[in-house]
Amino acid sequence: MGEVYRATDSRLNRDVALKIVPAALASDEQRMARFEREAQLLAALNHPHIATIHGLEEAGTTRALVMELVPGPTLAERIAQGPIPLEEALNIAKQIAEALEYARERGIIHRDLKPANVKLTPEGQVKLLDFGLAKAMEDSPAMQDISNSPTLSAVATKAGIILGTAAYMSPEQAKGKPVDRRADIWSFGVVLYEMLTGKTLYTGETAPETMAHVITKQPEWNALPAMTPPRIRRLLERCLTKDPKRRLRDIGEARIAIEDYLANPGAEAAASAVSGVAVAPAAAEPAWRLAMTWAVAALCALLAALGFWRPWAGGTRSGAGLPVRLNSDIGAEGKLYTDYGASEVFSPDGTRIVYVVTEPNGVRRLYLRALDQLQATALPGTDTARDPFFSPDGEWIGFFAGGLLKKISVHAGGAITICEASTSRGGAWGEDGTIVFEGLAVGGLLRVSSAGGKAEELTKLNPGSGTHRWPQVLPGGKAVLFTAATQVNTFEDASLEILDLATGARKTVYRGGFYGRYVKTGH
């Protein structure tokens, strides 16, 4: 449709984007008519999530749209980094839906929604670009000639060439049939799917091949993260139904569904807990992974048998709390990794468990399971991981791998490096956003921001060799419990100590023990 340049509006002293039709195409009356229509359509739209048009300028045979210059990467660039965590993806999708809903109310459909036409500003705002292929529904019937369907932009990938726009066409659009608002709903579903999986839904080496896949192939639902909530899965299924008569009727329904989930993400889990029915993902998994993650009693390897009770209540033993036991299957061929630190850890709210498994192929990685579901999922980017720990809000998991301290969202996505850590002997995430960890085989505790940066020394060793290991930030974030020892192999002289983070003072609370954990009863 044109070439886009960054420019300066010298009259108003502001940066703008100029969208110019190449001179070689300026004589194409049909293309020029579409270009002018873009200006008219954009001028009618005034919404925080739609790029604004400032004017239409002409100079001889050159015509240019003067548009808002939107900073930040495109959604396509963000997806190229890997799957987007659930909450972030849904917030992006909600803003896209708001923009499409606003345009729809004014009789306009986009017809070319794709990640490359969505910008993410530094402030976290979504801006929808390029309504140049939109169609005012009161206009003449849709073009039947598929050669006039939306621009096919080639994007180089490792697998070959993916035709960007063709991959986001609705089936009826790929067939050259008339389209309405449901075409945007299909494209919206494709974009949300790609945000969650990090993968293009339909690809091909040529436009016809890509369109054929759009028309004939069903989505690979098992590519969605296993932790994808059933409500969001159902929304995707309704958006990506090939028959437009059975598709979601209005994009506003998608917006409402996302808003409802974001307002109360635990509603479905709570309902399943009340009914006693576990909500499991609809997607199928490979047989070997199912064997590793499903709780099949006859084949289970017992990971944990945990009893929760209140030892004292008013000086007498309380019978109100009955023991609760949990079995979590790692499969007959899987092996729980127990060489260093914690093998499995519960989230602070007790709704999730993360554990370290060596898979049949020898790869060691983290598995995460929501306790209201039977299926666990391997977290991508956690190869060689060990010693996991949760953030206070339970949304992140810190871990050590490859000489680095890393973190990963519980909603999947890629692992993020925080800092170097030549070895791992435990970490703890404080309420102030800092992480305390032992990053040297023989050394004191270190502290670093969970956002990343250079680690600083927190404790010094006593004279002679030794180690400070397995820290736990205590409630309130004012002190750290840790193990101090000089005999790092036997821990015969180990003690449990508490460090006051404000004063740096240390106090020994128990001699002869190691790997101490504080519990809410004050013990």
pLDDT band at 139 (very low <50, low <70, confident <90, very high): very low
Q: Residue 255 in contact with residue 248, Cβ under 8 Å?
A: no
CA–CA gap between residue 432 and residue 449 (Å, rounded): 9
Residue 185's pLDDT is 92
More confident residue, 343 or 28: 343
pLDDT band at 337 (very low <50, low <70, confident <90, very high): confident
Residue 284's pLDDT is 40
Residue 257's pLDDT is 92
Residue 296's pLDDT is 38
The residue behind tokens 């509006």 is 9
* The pLDDT of residue 316 is above 60: no
More confident residue, 180 or 98: 98
Residue 351's pLDDT is 87
Q: What is the pTM of this model?
A: 0.51
* The pLDDT of residue 150 is above 70: no
% of the chain residues with pLDDT over 90: 25
In this structure, the number of other CB atoms found within 10 A of the CB of residue 249 comes to: 13
Q: How do residues 229-272 score in pLDDT, each as one tens digit?
A: 999 999 999 999 998 888 998 899 999 999 998 888 766 554 44
Q: What is the three-class DSSP state of 184?
A: helix
Q: Residue 424 in contact with residue 400, Cβ under 8 Å?
A: yes
* The pLDDT of residue 486 is above 70: yes
CA–CA gap between residue 521 and residue 84 (Å, rounded): 38
Active site residues: 112
Tell me the mean pLDDT in the region 343-352: 89
* The pLDDT of residue 451 is above 50: yes
Residue 328's pLDDT is 66
* The pLDDT of residue 514 is above 50: yes
Residue 16's pLDDT is 93
DSSP symbol at 60: T
% of the chain residues with pLDDT over 70: 76
Tell me the mean pLDDT in the region 133-142: 40
